[in-house]
Every structure is written in structure tokens, then in C-alpha cells.
């Protein structure tokens, strides 16, 4: 049973979330408000599924025709998974009595959905900035000074991304006369600025630190919601605007590799997952760079699966943080005794991100890897295989092992709250269902394809990779080579603008102040000397102030008058 599309075709789906956010405070805290927040994304998903493909909700705006609703194969799958993520995130946060976080979650999801459905670059810009403004409240809601400072850094970077985007749009319009959000080429300053804006939100290398800085600083539920939208919106934007741009292949490779080493030595498990998120984005970026229909299908499917299993991992770590007050690996361990269901769901997420057969990551990541090999990028393929093994180590093993099994921390917390378990259970079921029945996901991908992930060669090859990665982890642990889980601060490139840049600016400011004070002192001394000399000559006690005879004064005035007359006649 579907909706009457004639009634909903002109109504932007994102507005449903905005209206819900406006009226949410009218509901009392409790079951009614919780049910309301769960119903909104369900209705939105049904709207998108029923409306069909096409351009809807076109409005004039200062001489431009804006397309608020463009539904096609690419936008539909991202919109559907955004709705699903909003539902799961709201289910996980059902215990909240914080109106700010609830409203922010609705506005954030609505802005991400609106951006995914935007048919032009101006509409994209408004929603792009909407995601930044709404999401920062999920960080500030933690209420600590550190969260406030982190939120300010996050907001500056995200708003800055929007400023770069609108500058690129303006230049692009001047160059082409079009604001259509279609495939572009990196041939002008405008397109480069748009590309850079997308790259900031996608956490490209050297522009990635906002992710590891902000996500672990958010609230328990806020991190789960943050993990679903911002970076995947950037993946969608790159797939829409820059598919087939070869530089993305190499950017994506770097993205898959460098987080592995940071994640291995990180003690905070939410930061481990943030680095892992960056690693998984790299696979999607490589698929966009290859740009074939199969590669774009791989990117879209992997983004869909990634939102689910990454949310599941953040949910499990968040539940532990909720019960114990910490997410530090050095302080956890042995929690499977009192949190067995949370441990089981965490293992499902770990198996999914590690691409074990019968789990979602196996049937989506293989599309990107296979198309990379088919496009003859052998070294890129090898790098992605290495990155896949690294994922197993830092997310597939490290997260559940140190949180639930490594040693007995002595903590005996309660099992996760029921609504959190339901959210994790649904997400875990979807991770397994997609892995067992991948054709269900393949059927809604942007392009038609005929692909069978469960071939003997693929299954055996993946199992070999995973088993050798497990063996390597075991050997590293047994020999003591594996980095120990200790309380420490690991430096990343954000140190340059969080610590180094302020220190350099402070040192430069002090140097300039010394030079300025020296110059001012020099001028003061000379000016004081000059004033003293003038005072000696012309002051009350100076020689020029002495009494002169009247005749001498008359003669002086007469001489001055004569000189003036001579000058006047010349």
C-alpha cells in the first residue's frame, strides 16, 4: 500500500523532519514523544519509496529555479539509508529527556536528506550548512568545557566547508551559467572549490581531524547519529559531482591506510571507531574515483552497509560508556559477564566491518575491490587488501576484545537499557540479513547489475585474508609487540592548528610586541629630548621668553613686515 503521489510529489521530504522538529517540544517527555520521533523517518522512507523517480518541488528563488526533490537511483538509496539511520538513532536515544538533542537530531537528519535530494547547488548549500549547524548541538549537549571547545572547532570547519562551497558555486555559475548539481570536471577554480568543500566533509587526508576530534566528544547517543550523516553525505556529493575523477582513487587509498596505525595505538575506543570510519570512507572514495557503474554501485552499497555496522559498533561502545562512564580500553575488560547481549551485537558489527562471509561488509566491499582489479589498478587493489586486514585488527578484534574479553576490569555494570538493545538488535539483524541475502540490497542500487559475491574463490580468498590477520594479531599480542592499551595522548595532524599554530602565533605576537615596545621607547626618548630642548628655548624659563626692550621688538616687527612686502612683490 503506497501513498497518493499526487499529494506528496510537491512536498519536500526534508520538510517533514523540520516540521516535526518544530512541534516536538509540544509533546511531553515520554512514550508519545518517543513514538513520534520513530514515526517521522518511517513516513519519510515510505514517501521516497512511493514517489518514484523524477524532479519534484521546483521553486523560483531570486531568478534561479531550485529543485528541492530530485529522486533517482543514487539519491534514493542514500535517502532511504538516512531514514533508516534516523529511525535507529532515535530508537537508541529513546531514554533521552533532552529536547535540544532530539530537535537537533531531527533537523540534522532532515538536512542530510534534503541535501541528498537536492537537484541544484544552491539548494545543496542551504542543506549543507543545515547539517553543520544542527549537528554541533549533539556535541555541545555533553555540557563540558572540552565538548564546547571541540564543538566550536567542528562548527568552524563545517561552516567553512559551506563557505568554500558557495564560493565555488558562484564561480561555477559565472563560468557555465548553470547551478545544476550534476557531474563536473576539475577544470576550473569553481569546480576545484566545490571539490575541496566536499573533501572537507568527507575527511580527506590532512582535512580529517575534525572527525576524530568531534565524534568522540559528543554525547553517547549523539556520536551514533553523527556517524551516519555528515561523511556519507559527502560521499554522495562526490559520487554525484565527481564520479570518475581519477585523483579520488589515490586520495581514497591514503584514506584507507593511514588511520590503521592511529587506530592501533589509540586507547579511546570511540576514537578508534572514528579512525576506522575514515578508513572505510576510503573504500567508497576509491569506488567514486573509478567511476564505473559497478564501482558506483559498490560505493553506494558499502555506504549503506557502513552506516549500519558503524552505528552498531558506536552503539555498543556507547552502551558501555553509558553504563561504566568510560570508553578507554585500558579501563575496560571482562564486561561480557554482565553485558552479554551488548557483546554479541558488538561482535556482529565487528564481523560486518571485517567483511566476514555472511555479514554485510563481505557483499559490499567486494564490489569495490573487484572493480578495482577489473580496472587494472593492481597496486591500489593490494593497498585495499592490506587496509582490509588492518580493519580486522583495529575494529574487528580490538574493539570487542579489549572491551569485553581482554582482562577482568572488575566492573560489573548492568546490561544495556532495553531500547538500546532493541536498536542494536535491529541493526545486527540487518547486518546479517544483507550478508545472507545481498540481492535485496543490490536491487535498490543506482544501476542494474548481475553480481554473485559467494563464489568459491572470493569466499576462500577472504577467509584466508581474515585468518592470517587473526594469526598476525595473536602473534603480536603473544610477543608483546602489539601497542599496549595505556592512557596517552596520540598526536595527529590537528596538533598543527590546535597546539603548534597557537604557540607560533603567540611567539610571533610576543616578538612583535617586543619590537613595537622598543620602537615606541626609542620614539618616546627622542620626542622627550626634543620637547626638553624646545622647552629650554621657548618654555616659560627659556631664553626666548626673556623680556626684550620695546625698541628691539619694533625693529623686529618692522623687519618682518619688510620681508613680507618683498616676498609679495616678487
The reported pLDDT for the residue numbered 479 is 75
The reported pLDDT for the residue numbered 22 is 94
DSSP alpha helices (H): ranges in 480-546? Answer: 495, 501-538
CA atoms within 13 A on the CB side of 479: 8
The reported pLDDT for the residue numbered 350 is 92
The reported pLDDT for the residue numbered 521 is 80
Give burial (CB, 10 Å; 0-12/13-18/19+) of 26.
Answer: exposed
The reported pLDDT for the residue numbered 560 is 73
The reported pLDDT for the residue numbered 509 is 83
The reported pLDDT for the residue numbered 434 is 95
The reported pLDDT for the residue numbered 528 is 77
The reported pLDDT for the residue numbered 202 is 94
Q: Which of 499, 84, 94, 442 is nearest to 294 (CA)?
A: 442
Q: At what angle do helices 340-353 and 293-324 cross, to 10 degrees?
A: 160
CA–CA–CA angle 309, 365, 271 (5° rounding): 45
* Contacts for 283 with CB less than 8 Å, ≥ 6 apart: 252, 256, 302, 365, 368, 384, 387
Q: Which residues in the chain land under pLDDT 70?
A: 1-10, 477, 480-495, 497-498, 534-553, 567-570
DSSP alpha helices (H): ranges in 336-445? Answer: 340-353, 360-374, 378-391, 398-400, 418-436, 438-442
Give burial (CB, 10 Å; 0-12/13-18/19+) of 28.
Answer: exposed
CA–CA gap between residue 148 and residue 171 (Å, rounded): 35
The reported pLDDT for the residue numbered 132 is 94
CA–CA gap between residue 344 and residue 533 (Å, rounded): 90
Round to the nearest angstrom and report the end-to-end CA distance of the chain.
107
**SS3 assignment, position 190:** helix
Q: How many residues can be counted in the chain?
A: 570
The reported pLDDT for the residue numbered 551 is 64
User: With the C-alpha atoms ordered 62, 129, 284, 46, is the resulting torsion angle positive or negative?
Assistant: negative
DSSP designation for 180: B
Read off the pLDDT of residues 99-147 as tens digits, 9 standing for 90 and up.
999 999 999 999 999 999 999 999 999 999 999 999 999 999 998 898 9
**Domain residue spans of the chain:** 1-241, 243-488
The reported pLDDT for the residue numbered 61 is 85
The reported pLDDT for the residue numbered 1 is 41
The reported pLDDT for the residue numbered 3 is 45
* Contacts for 243 with CB less than 8 Å, ≥ 6 apart: 183, 288, 291, 296
Amino acid at each position: 500500500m503506497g501513498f497518493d503521489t499526487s499529494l506528496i510529489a510537491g512536498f519536500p521530504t526534508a520538510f517533514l523532519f523540520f516540521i516535526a522538529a518544530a512541534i516536538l517540544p509540544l509533546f511531553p517527555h515520554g512514550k508519545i514523544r518517543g513514538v513520534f520521533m520513530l514515526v517521522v523517518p518511517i513516513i519519510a522512507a515510505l514517501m521516497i519509496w512511493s514517489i518514484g523517480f523524477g524532479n519534484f518541488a521546483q521553486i523560483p528563488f531570486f531568478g534561479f529555479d531550485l529543485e528541492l526533490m530530485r529522486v533517482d537511483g543514487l539519491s534514493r538509496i542514500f535517502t532511504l539509508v538516512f531514514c533508516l539511520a534516523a529511525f535507529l538513532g532515535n530508537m537508541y536515544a529513546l531514554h533521552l529527556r533532552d529536547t535540544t538533542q532530539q530537535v537537533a537530531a531531527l533537523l540534522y537528519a532532515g538536512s542530510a536528506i534534503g541535501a541528498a535530494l537536492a537537484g541544484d547547488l544552491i539548494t545543496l548549500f542551504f542543506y549543507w550548512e543545515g547539517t553543520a549547524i544542527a549537528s554541533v548541538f549533539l556535541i555541545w549537549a555533553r555540557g563540558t568545557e572540552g565538548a564546547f571547545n571541540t564543538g566550536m572547532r567542528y562548527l568552524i570547519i563545517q561552516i567553512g566547508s559551506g563557505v568554500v562551497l558557495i564560493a565555488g558555486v558562484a564561480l561555477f555559475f559565472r563560468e557555465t551559467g548553470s547551478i545544476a548539481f550534476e557531474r563536473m570536471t576539475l577544470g576550473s577554480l569553481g569546480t576545484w572549490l566545490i571539490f575541496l568543500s566536499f573533501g572537507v566533509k568527507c575527511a580527506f587526508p590532512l582535512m580529517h581531524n575534525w572527525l576524530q576530534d568531534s565524534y568522540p566528544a559528543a554525547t553517547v547517543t549523539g556520536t551514533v547519529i553523527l556517524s551516519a550523516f555528515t561523511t556519507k553525505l559527502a560521499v554522495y556529493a562526490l559520487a554525484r559531482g565527481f564520479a570518475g575523477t581519477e585523483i579520488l582513487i589515490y586520495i581514497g587509498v591514503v584514506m584507507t591506510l593511514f588511520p590503521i596505525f592511529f587506530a592501533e595505538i589509540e586507547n579511546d575506543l570511540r576514537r578508534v571507531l572514528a579512525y576506522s570510519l575514515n578508513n572505510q570512507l576510503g573504500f567508497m572514495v576509491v569506488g567514486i574515483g573509478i567511476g564505473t557503474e559497478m564501482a558506483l554501485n559498490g560505493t553506494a552499497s558499502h555506504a549503506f552497509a557502513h552506516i549500519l555496522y558503524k552505528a552498531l559498533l558506536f552503539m555498543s561502545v556507547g552502551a558501555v560508556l553509558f553504563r561504566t562512564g568510560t570508553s578507554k580500553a585500558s579501563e575496560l575488560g571482562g564486561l561480557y559477564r554482565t553485558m552479554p547481549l551488548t557483546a554479541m551485537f558488538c561482535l556482529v558489527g565487528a564481523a560486518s566491518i571485517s567483511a566476514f562471509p555472511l555479514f554485510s561488509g563481505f557483499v559490499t566491499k567486494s564490489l569495490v575491490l573487484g572493480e578495482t582489479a577489473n580496472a587494472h589498478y593492481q597496486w591500489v587493489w593490494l593497498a585495499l587488501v592490506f587496509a582490509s586486514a588492518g580493519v580486522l585488527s583495529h575494529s574487528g578484534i580490538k574493539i570487542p576484545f579489549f572491551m569485553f574479553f581482554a582482562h577482568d576490569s572488575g566492573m560489573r555494570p548492568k546490561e544495556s537499557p532495553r531500547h538500546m538493545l532493541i536498536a542494536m538488535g535491529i541493526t545486527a539483524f540487518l547486518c546479517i540479513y544483507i550478508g545472507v541475502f545481498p540481492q535485496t540490497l543490490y536491487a535498490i542500487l543506482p544501476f542494474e547489475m548481475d553480481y554473485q559475491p559467494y563464489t568459491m574463490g572470493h569466499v576462500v580468498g577472504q577467509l584466508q585474508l581474515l585468518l592470517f590477520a587473526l594469526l598476525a594479531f595473536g602473534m603480536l599480542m603473544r610477543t608483546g609487540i602489539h601497542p599496549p592499551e595505556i592512557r596517552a595522548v596520540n598526536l595527529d595532524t590537528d596538533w598543527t592548528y590546535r597546539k603548534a599554530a597557537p604557540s607560533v602565533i603567540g611567539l610571533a605576537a610576543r616578538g612583535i610586541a617586543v619590537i613595537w615596545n622598543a620602537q615606541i621607547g626609542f620614539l618616546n626618548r627622542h620626542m622627550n629630548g626634543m620637547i626638553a630642548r624646545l622647552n629650554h628655548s621657548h618654555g616659560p624659563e627659556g631664553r626666548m621668553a626673556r623680556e626684550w626692550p620695546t625698541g628691539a621688538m619694533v625693529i623686529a616687527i618692522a623687519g618682518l613686515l619688510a620681508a613680507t612686502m618683498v616676498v609679495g612683490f616678487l
